[in-house]
């Protein structure tokens, strides 16, 4: 299906330090990851276990296995890891134990060239109204705080990545509105989540937010509906 062809071409043409991928390479790799996620999502959006027990670790596990199946079938040169730790300098030096490391829910790493490119996923449950004992305010706060977006914005994650919202109840635009209300409280209203209308990606429910001075890239938000 042509996965990573554009990425390969960019890698061959890039004239820079192979240890430091260019912005063009990073964006190309990100686009391919988004397409892979979209395909994998379509295979798991209605399975019984998710409907019966809409839990973030369960959905992430189902998505991880679907990603592995799709990437293997298409012979995509990727390593995909679940619960991959962010190894800080303090952990490397033994100042802090590995158990304290923040973990990407799903992590992608290329291995088809000398150029090392990685991309992480932070996933959270989202709802519009109280659902099965879960509170809207709690899930929205977790999505925006250092448990979610804050991992990127405040530098807890050093490598590029995106957010994924697992919608288990409610309407996506209304949920995004609640996220933006929380962002205004924590950050400011100029950093709100907006629909991406660039047509660069096949998945329709993709949003992005800008955090100038804190992130040197747009933080994307893929909303996956499991209603």
pLDDT in tens, 24-38: 888 888 998 999 999
Considering only CA atoms, which of 219, 92, 100, 87 is closest in space to residue 150? 219
Segments forming the whole domain that contains residue 143:
5-10+18-225
- What does the pLDDT read at residue 1? 47
Considering only CA atoms, which of 91, 107, 97 is closest in space to residue 37? 107
- What does the pLDDT read at residue 212? 77
- What does the pLDDT read at residue 114? 65
The position carrying tokens 């449950």 is 125
Burial group, residue 85, by CB count within 10 angstroms (0-12, 13-18, 19+): middle
pLDDT in tens, 72-86: 988 888 899 999 888
> Which residue numbers in the chain have pLDDT < 50?
1, 7, 10, 13-18
- What does the pLDDT read at residue 142? 97
- What does the pLDDT read at residue 9? 53
- Show the tokens assigned to 18: 């192979």
Total domains, the chain:
1
């Amino acid at each position: 299906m042509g996965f990573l062809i554009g990425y390969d071409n960019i890698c061959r043409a890039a004239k820079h330090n192979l240890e430091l991928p260019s912005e063009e390479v990073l964006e190309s790799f990100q686009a391919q990851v988004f397409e892979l996620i979209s395909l994998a999502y379509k295979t798991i959006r209605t399975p019984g276990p998710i409907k019966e027990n809409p839990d973030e670790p369960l959905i992430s596990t189902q998505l991880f296995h679907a990603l592995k199946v799709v990437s293997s079938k298409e012979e995509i040169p990727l390593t995909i890891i679940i619960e991959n730790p962010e190894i800080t300098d303090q952990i490397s030096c033994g100042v802090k134990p590995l158990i304290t490391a923040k973990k990407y829910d799903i992590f992608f790493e290329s291995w088809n060239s000398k150029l090392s490119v990685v991309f992480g996923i932070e996933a959270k449950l989202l709802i519009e109204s109280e659902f099965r004992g879960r509170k809207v305010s709690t899930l929205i706060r977790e999505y925006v705080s250092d448990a979610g977006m804050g991992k990127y914005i405040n530098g807890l994650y050093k490598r590029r990545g995106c957010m994924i919202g697992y919608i288990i109840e409610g309407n996506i635009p209304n949920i995004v509105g609640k996220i933006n209300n929380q962002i205004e409280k924590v950050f400011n209203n100029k950093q709100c989540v907006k629909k991406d209308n660039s047509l660069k990606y096949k998945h329709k429910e993709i949003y992005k937010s800008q955090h100038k001075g804190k992130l040197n890239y747009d933080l994307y938000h893929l909303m996956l509906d499991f209603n």
